[in-house]
Amino acid sequence: MWQAQHVADLLAAADPSIRCEFVASDTFADLDLSKSISDLGGKGAFSKEIQQVVQAGHADLAVHSAKDLQAFTPEDLVIAAYPQRGNPRDALVGCTLAELQSACDGPDDSVRVASGSNRRRTLLLDMCPQVSFTDLRGNIATRLSKLEAASGSGSGPKGLIMAAVALERLGLTPAVVDVLDPARFTPQVGQGALAIEVRRDRPDIIEAVRQINHIKTEVAVSAERSFLAELGGDCSLPAGSHATVTYNANGSPSITIAGMLAADDYGNLQRGTETGVVQDEPGRELARNLRKRLEAAIS
DSSP 187: P
Q: Which CATH topology does 214-299 take?
A: Double Stranded RNA Binding Domain (3.30.160)
Task: Look up the CATH superfamily of 90-179.
Answer: Periplasmic binding protein-like II (3.40.190.10)
Q: What is the value of pTM for the model shown? A: 0.89
Q: Strand 111-114 relative to strand 159-163: parallel, antiparallel, unpaired?
A: parallel
The yes-or-no verdict on residue 29 having pLDDT over 60 is no
Q: Is there a contact between 199 and 58 (Cβ–Cβ < 8 Å)?
A: no
Rounded Cα gap, residues 37 and 45, in angstroms: 7
pLDDT the model gives residue 22: 95
Return the H-helix or E-strand segment holding 33. Answer: none
**Domains 1-85+193-213 and 90-179 belong to one CATH topology:** yes
Query: What's the farthest any 2 CA atoms get from each other in the chain?
Result: 64
Neighbours of 67 (CB within 10 A): 24
The yes-or-no verdict on residue 168 having pLDDT over 80 is yes
Rounded Cα gap, residues 173 and 187, in angstroms: 21
Instruction: Name residue 114's beta-bridge partners.
Output: 134, 160
Distances (CA, A) of 153 to 62, 140, 156: 40, 20, 7
pLDDT per position as a tens digit, 94-120: 889 998 888 877 666 568 888 889 999
Neighbours of 276 (CB within 10 A): 16
Q: Where are the domains of the chain?
A: 1-85+193-213, 90-179, 214-299
Rounded to a whole number, what is the distance in angstroms from the first to the last CA of the chain? 46
pLDDT per position as a tens digit, 131-158: 988 877 667 777 777 777 666 555 667 8
pLDDT-derived band of residue 40, with 50, 70 and 90 as boundaries?
very low
The yes-or-no verdict on residue 283 having pLDDT over 50 is yes
Q: Is there a contact between 94 and 176 (Cβ–Cβ < 8 Å)?
A: yes
Quick one: average pLDDT of 12-32? 82
pLDDT the model gives residue 157: 74
The CATH code of domain 1-85+193-213 reads: 3.40.190.10
Lowest mean pLDDT among 8-17, 138-147, 193-202, 252-261: 138-147
Of residues 237 and 142, the one with the higher pLDDT is 237
